Chain A
Amino acid sequence: MIARRLLSVTGAAMIVFGLVGLLRHADETAPGSWVVFFLGGLVAHDALLAPAVMLLGLLIGRAVPRRIRPVVQGTLLVAGALLVIAIPVLTGNGRLGNNPSILPQDYWEGLLTALGVLALAGVMLLARALRHPAAPAPPEPPPLPTARPGW
């Protein structure tokens, strides 16, 4: 309990310190633009990315046979991570005509190569998974409770 209080108080003080610093240096930190990107990232994740991934998970649950499902899910997770960190270099927004040492590579080629290697690893894991017999299906879940009145 003491640890919890200590962490909360220190944390709250750091949050206030950061906010005050942001506002005191408003000429550099452009708080209007900061708020847009600060909350924009949260909304983009919670309202777009997460539901999309949940839906994808649902589809995989329906479409992919149980035996190979873990391999498919794991491979897609790694592919997603690669794709996310590749987006800024893929757009090429940072390129400068007078400085070719910035973003010197063909990043589409790089991403496809990385995904290709990943796919190869996925196929090997898939082959291994298929050699093992399927695990017995888990028991049916208990039936859903009856709907609440009011609907």
Chain B
Amino acid sequence: MVLRPRRSLSETLLKEGAIGEALERELGHLRTGPFDEDAFPSRLHDERLASLLGIALGVCFMTCFATGLVSHFAQDPWEIGILSMPAAPAWLYRVTQGLHVATGIAAIPLLLVKLWVVYPKFFTWPPVRDPAHALARLSLVPLVAGSIFQLFSGLLNTARWYPWEFAFTATHYWTSWIVMGALLVHIGAQLSIVRRNVGRTGKARSAAVSPEPPGDGLSRRGLLTATAAAVGAVTLTTVGQTVRPLKGLAVLAPRLPDSGPQGVPVNKSAVGARVTDLIRDPAYRLTVGGRVQRELSFTLEELRALPQHEADLAITCVEGWSSGARWSGVRVRDLLDRAGASPDAEVLVTSMQPRGAYRQSELNVPHARHADTLLALRLNGEELHPDHGFPCRLIAPNRPGVQQTKWVTSLEVL
């Protein structure tokens, strides 16, 4: 009698596609350590916990993505009118960007706890069951790596620590598409697990009210409570950088809303921008040119003699801090009208700063025509500090701080 020879591993892989079975048969005896069934004894490595934390993280990531897109398009507008930043409400960008950073910080403990809950799945046995399983596991790389990358590169950016070679904003933006894409794939793959563990209807109900699994230490509810406390703790110790009433608690905030020259923080100082000599030059002129009927030029004294207006506006930084202040100076639209510029003209504002990505900014029509858009000469009743843009700076409602150009020397009508 002739026996059929036992199939080799490669034959099995090729013929059946059941990679998992083959691995188990050939390598099953190697299963040990973290791959063992009871390697992770805690009752908290649990589907319901993973689902609830996943939902919370999903909400955080969607919030970060939406507010991040607002910030991206505020700084890099599409050439479509409807998608350029409105000038009102003045507080909009302050809220969206404050939310962006606060939500990102809050997501850090959520992400770490969620990864801890599902960590045993990293040691699933057999490591790969079939091609679909392999693909599903592989798709977790952009999700997990991307989530860690986004949250921590953002956190480091708020502290202005750049250990990498890439430009933060562009990289953070493009990576966000990868993470959100991987998140959608992940939601699709895990939808059935979430459905059977969360919710108040039908089958889900039994899971939702199911008793705590037996065991020691923190319960499921206890872990969720502790995670909520961690989210609260990291939020309370940082959010005062934009929510001024909570400033006293912001012991870990990289900025304080009243810490800086004249009580307002600064991103680029006069020394850092290399303008200390230029701004003291007696030959300083502010020019209004471009597509105008008559070109104008003002000395600082002449600017001071023009009608002055006040505006309560916040400097809002992309890094998540903001600080409201009272500014006074000349309305940009008054200058444009004097020069005879068209009322639907956009304006390029240029700084004395010799170089740097933010030495120029554009005013779209709503911003250029807004009554609160000023070339400010004074801040909280005092002449501008050099770090705040002496002799004059742009300040406009609902605009990222990097676009509130300082040390302004020319307005060019486009």
Residue A124 interfacial (CB < 8 Å): no
B160 close to A102 (CB less than 8 A): yes
Q: A57: shortest Cβ distance to chain B, in Å? A: 7
Partner of A29, one of B108, B174, B219: B174
The number of residues on chain A lying at the interface, defined by a beta carbon within 8 Å of a beta carbon of chain B, is 84
Q: Which residue of chain B has the shortest Cβ distance to A45 in the bound complex? A: B148
Within 8 A of B (CB), among A8-67: 8, 10-19, 21-22, 25, 28-30, 32-34, 36-39, 41-42, 44-46, 49-50, 53-54, 57, 60-61, 66
B226 close to A73 (CB less than 8 A): yes
Q: List 20 A-B contacts (CB under 8 A).
A: A4-B188, A4-B189, A6-B188, A11-B184, A11-B186, A15-B182, A18-B177, A22-B175, A37-B153, A37-B164, A46-B119, A77-B230, A81-B231, A85-B238, A85-B252, A96-B160, A96-B272, A109-B251, A138-B215, A151-B29
Which A residues are CB-close (under 8 A) to B191? Answer: 3-4, 7
Contact flags A139-151 to B (C-beta < 8 A → 1, else 0): 1010010001111
**CA separation between A53 and B198, bound complex, in Å?**
27
| Interface-facing stretch out of B49-57, B83-91, B259-267, B301-309 | B259-267
Sort A-B residue pairs by CB-CB distance and give the 7 closest, nearest first: A14-B181, A150-B29, A110-B251, A18-B177, A94-B160, A7-B188, A11-B184
Question: B interface, by DSSP: helix, strand, loop or mixed?
Answer: helix
A33 close to B149 (CB less than 8 A): no
**CA separation between A50 and B109, bound complex, in Å?**
13
Partner of B112, one of A7, A81, A113: A81
B146 close to A38 (CB less than 8 A): yes
Which A residues are CB-close (under 8 A) to B299? Answer: none
Max chain B CB contacts within 10 Å: which of A30, A89, A118?
A: A89
B residues sitting closer than 8 Å to A (CB atoms) are 28-29, 31-32, 38, 40, 42, 105, 108-109, 112-113, 115-116, 119, 122, 141-142, 144-146, 148-149, 152-153, 155-156, 158-161, 163-167, 170-171, 173-189, 191, 214-219, 222-223, 225-227, 229-231, 233-234, 237-238, 251-256, 259-261, 265-272, 387
Q: B234: shortest Cβ distance to chain A, in Å? A: 5
Which A residues are CB-close (under 8 A) to B180? Answer: 11, 14
B145 close to A113 (CB less than 8 A): no
B167 close to A66 (CB less than 8 A): no
**CA separation between A82 and B254, bound complex, in Å?**
14
**CA separation between A5 and B187, bound complex, in Å?**
11
